[in-house]
Structure 1
Amino acid sequence: MRAAEANRPKNEVSATARLARSINLGFFPHLFPISGEVGLEKVLAFIAKLCLRGEPLALAIDKGRELGMLKGLNGDLVYSKAREFLIHYHSLSGSPRERAEKFLRGMGRPAFPEWAERRIPRLRLEAEASIRRNYWFWVNPFKGDQDKALREIGEKIEFERDNDFPELYRVTEGDPSKVKAFKEGKAVIQDKASFAVVKALDPKPGELIYDMASAPGVKTALIMALTEGRAEVVASELSRTRLEKESSFLKLLNVDLRKVHLIQADSRNLLIRRADKVLLDAPCSSSGMVPNDPCVLLTLTPEKVKSFSELQREMLKTAVEISNYVTYSSCSVFPEEGEELVEGFKTIRPSFGEPSGNGVRFWPSQGTQGFFISVITGRKG
């Protein structure tokens, strides 16, 4: 038995062992019990293995921290290197550990899976652009003086007003997630492309709006903010856990929940007959979310894209039966989840974004997440 293990309280070893067994990653005989510092390549390999299981990056890093793997390592450095490594992952070969070692030697390039780059050559550029994550935010009108909130934020980070949307600000220096005003709900972090989805919806006071896949609630909150709390929203979400988190988030922002009706349901079968407008920010492959969480690259497959496309088609069929004004969006780079999906409908192309088919696109190379957006006003014919 190692000295470090012998001197560790039994209950601490037991707790760590339980976490290790629950993760069951195969190389824990070399990592558990952990004694001293763990090399960065082992940490990166650990994170990659969790990402391959579908875990988000933040959770993978948290689990590594719980296991003591980040001891002696700078947390911000680990996060930054992990993001870069995951974006380089598909250009490298071997096991996660071997790929990590190659990455730290300067090998590889930013890459989507090979099959995706063959289909959409532009993705080579978008992978490289995804290494940098940009932050955008808007100030919450339901939590007091907005100018005061901006001054408070300006003491911690630097930002500038967006040229397209005057309510939106782009962070030019600093990390807003560490600023107290954001934790208190005085301001909301939301990517410009995601913000544009709600602007395409163009919500008005007095309208009844159906948000078909509402969690985590940022778009629902923005609908209420843009209408000064005078719209009415039916927000549905299949997962009870996600719905409860959405409720807590909206309460933090002081959104009037008498005007927002949260419903746990499969929105394809919900008994809502009519609404003035429908927002369908559809569940998708998340292939446009690489700047936010590059773990999505490790589970991206053609089968996944096809499966989500079929689900989106079903949801869109329901949406157009409820309203003749449907804003459809997906955070995907693939036309099966965007342009091809809306071909059979009458559409209005939003006035912002890069024109693409019957809608617009936002790309990481433009500083945002990857999104497709279109406004549907009915079926053709």
Structure 2
Amino acid sequence: MNERLIIDLLAKSLYEVLNHKVSIDVAFKRACKGKCASSLNEREELYNLVRNFISDYFKIICVIGKNKRVSLKELARRWIKGLNNIPDTIPCRLSYSEWFYEKIINLLGFHEGVKLLSALNERKWWLRINTLITSEEKVLRMLDEEGVEYDIDKDYPFVVKIRSSPKPVRLLKPVKEFKAIPQDKASVMVVDVLKPEPGDVIADLASAPGLKTSLIMMLTENRSKIVAIDVSLKRLKIMRVLLKRLGVNLSNVSLVLADSRDIRVRGINKALLDAPCSNSGAIDKDPGIKIHINQGKIDYYSRLQKELLENALRLDAEEVVYATCSLMPEEGEEVISYIAQKFEFKLVKEIKWLSNGYKLVGFYDKLMRAFPHIHDTEAFFIAKIVKKS
């Protein structure tokens, strides 16, 4: 693809992220339609180019000047030629908005905040071995044969950290055969905190795309029952296909189209709320989040999470795990603080080696946070709530 077409691709991808607030994956797909080569290798190279360009958006703005109006194509052109004279400020060097930078520094302090922001710029790849249809040994052998360099996780032997791969992770043979699933270790931690056991009846209150549902079934060897709830019929249909391919016994999973803010589910003993959120903890996966995150979006999801968790605590479940892929206290500590005014419960710090919550609440040491610069994962907030009888 010549330089003119590459500039066009970069500009159109950025347009989608800026104006339609979509993920980089969606933006690239739309911009690439009918234009990109069918070669997987070339397509992957173009995708990485788009990803890096969008990640550098604020760096480009710093060089050009915030008040200078230029076309998206000019932004792409300047980036391709190389950025010179980048202002020597941390938001510019690491490519974040000043608002986001200040918010993180206020939460973590300067040194920890800079480490976190740097780590968020580095893509991390984790694979969860799907023992419902294969063994850990077989998948590790397959990865060896494909020349993948990896580390077996010390906490979860069915999870591996990919150090390097000769091909995109999604094109690895065990991934294509559903014997391994790209799933961040922090996402696995959320299910670990739930401690699912055979015989449990669990409500998964925001279940699509189904990775945590499938992990629950894997850990219980298909011997638990799950009520998997989502507001999107389309997502539930996709989830059903995925669960089947992953070897989940669908007779033990009830897929329910409903809004978990007002659903009533009887006969459950545990509930999982991996709530919709701003995804500020997943910038490494989608740098476009840097661009379209704002306080309004955080406040919207905070209100939604309060409503979802409030209803979750009205269900029969004795234990509720609430989690968000967010760095923001509005989508974590503040939600628990709000709920504590309405319900009596105790908080359990199930995974001792995770960081505590932010010291904005008195019970911060009973909350769990995963950070990319400490745990080498996406950033997650996790709370285990046990009702008082």
Judge same fold: TM > 0.5, yes or no: yes
| Distance change in 2, residues 1:265/1:118 (3 Å) | same
**C-alpha separation between the residues in 1 aligned to 2:373 and 2:332?**
18
**Paired position in structure 2 for 1:79:** 47
Aligned positions of 1:243-262 closer than 5 A: 243-262=236-255
**Paired position in structure 2 for 1:285:** 278
1:50 aligns with 2:16: yes
**CA apart distance, 1:74:** 3.8
RMSD: 2.4
**CA apart distance, 1:267:** 1.1
Contact 2:9 2:32 in 1 (8 A): no
Contact 1:284 1:308 in 2 (8 A): yes
- Comparing 141-150 with 335-344, greater Cα deviation is found at 141-150
Aligned positions of 1:95-244 closer than 5 A: 95=70, 96-104=72-80, 105-106=82-83, 107=86, 108-121=92-105, 124-156=114-146, 157-174=148-165, 175-244=168-237
The partner residue of 1:63 within 30, 52, 55 is 30
Unmatched segments (≥5 aa) in structure 2: 87-91, 358-363
Contact 2:229 2:257 in 1 (8 A): yes
Per-residue CA deviation, residues 284-310 of structure 1 (Å, 9 max, x unaligned), is: 011111111112222211010000000
TM-score, structure 2 as length reference: 0.82
The partner residue of 1:271 within 243, 264, 267 is 264
Count of paired positions: 346
The partner residue of 1:373 within 357, 363, 382 is 382
**CA apart distance, 1:43:** 2.4
**CA apart distance, 1:61:** 1.8
- Comparing 151-160 with 284-293, greater Cα deviation is found at 151-160
Unmatched segments (≥5 aa) in structure 1: 1-34
- What is the identity, as a one-letter code, of the residue corresponding to 1:341? V
**Paired position in structure 1 for 2:356:** 355
**C-alpha separation between the residues in 1 aligned to 2:31 and 2:25?**
10
| Distance change in 2, residues 1:376/1:102 (3 Å) | farther
TM-score, structure 1 as length reference: 0.84
> Identity, % of aligned pairs?
33
1:278 is paired with a residue whose SS is strand
| Distance change in 2, residues 1:70/1:48 (3 Å) | farther
| Distance change in 2, residues 1:319/1:112 (3 Å) | farther
Contact 2:136 2:158 in 1 (8 A): no
- What is the identity, as a one-letter code, of the residue corresponding to 2:327? V
Contact 1:236 1:265 in 2 (8 A): yes
**CA apart distance, 1:335:** 0.4
**CA apart distance, 1:98:** 3.9
**CA apart distance, 1:171:** 0.9
**C-alpha separation between the residues in 2 aligned to 1:113 and 1:185?**
38
Contact 2:150 2:162 in 1 (8 A): yes
The partner residue of 1:335 within 310, 329, 340 is 329
Contact 1:38 1:69 in 2 (8 A): no
- What is the identity, as a one-letter code, of the residue corresponding to 1:246? M
Contact 1:161 1:168 in 2 (8 A): yes
Contact 1:360 1:372 in 2 (8 A): yes
1:75 is paired with a residue whose SS is helix
Contact 2:204 2:229 in 1 (8 A): yes
